[in-house]
Chain A
Amino acid sequence: MRKRPVALSARPGGRPPASPIEQFEQVYRHNVDVVMGYFARRCREPQTVADLTSETFVRAVDGFATFDPRRGSDRAWVFGIAARVFATYCDQSAGGREAVARLGGHRQLDRDEIEELAERIDAERQGAALLQRCEQLPPVERAAIELVDLEGLTPKEAAVALGVSRVAFRQRLSRARSRLRKEHQINE
Chain B
Amino acid sequence: MSKFTDHLWSDLVREHGPTLAQAERPAPARAGGARLLRRPRVLAGSTLGLAGIGAALLLALGGTAATTPAFAITRSNDGSVLVHLNYIKDQNLPQVQQKLASMGIHETVGIEMGTGAASVSGPVTCAQGPGATTKVKVLVGANGTETIAAGQSGGNTAEGSFHLIRCTVANNTNGSGNSGVAGNS
Contacts and interface: CB of A to CB of B under 8 A. Distances in A.
Contact of A107 (B8, B21, B116): B8
Interface stretch (A61-69, A133-141, A154-162): A61-69
Given A54-B8, A61-B12, A109-B4, A15 B21 contact: no
B115 A28 contact: no
Given A18-B114, A29-B1, A65 B25 contact: yes
B5 interface: yes
A33 B5 contact: yes
A112 interface: yes
Contact of B29 (A15, A61, A69, A113): A69
Interface in B1-31: 1-5, 7-9, 11-13, 16-17, 19-26, 28-29
A180 B118 CA distance: 56
B157 to A, nearest CB: 13
Contact of A117 (B4, B16, B19): B4
B25 A57 contact: no
A64 B3 contact: no
Q: Is the interface of A mostly helix, strand, loop or mixed?
A: helix
Contacts of A9: 28-29, 33, 36
Interface in A4-52: 9, 15-21, 23-25, 28-29, 32-33, 36, 50
Interface residues of B, number: 32
Contacts of B9: 25, 28-29, 32
Contacts of A69: 26, 28-29
Contacts, number: 92
Interface residues of A, number: 36
Q: Is the interface of B mostly helix, strand, loop or mixed?
A: mixed
B20 A64 contact: yes
Residue with the greatest number of chain A CB neighbours at <10 A, chosen from B1, B4, B11, B115: B4
A53 B8 contact: yes
A125 B77 CA distance: 71
Contacts of A16: 28, 33, 36-37, 115
B20 A61 contact: yes
B150 interface: no
A20 B23 contact: yes
Given A28-B9, A57-B12, 18 more contacts: A9-B29, A15-B115, A16-B36, A16-B115, A18-B114, A19-B21, A20-B21, A20-B22, A21-B13, A21-B21, A29-B1, A32-B1, A36-B5, A62-B19, A68-B26, A109-B4, A116-B4, A117-B4
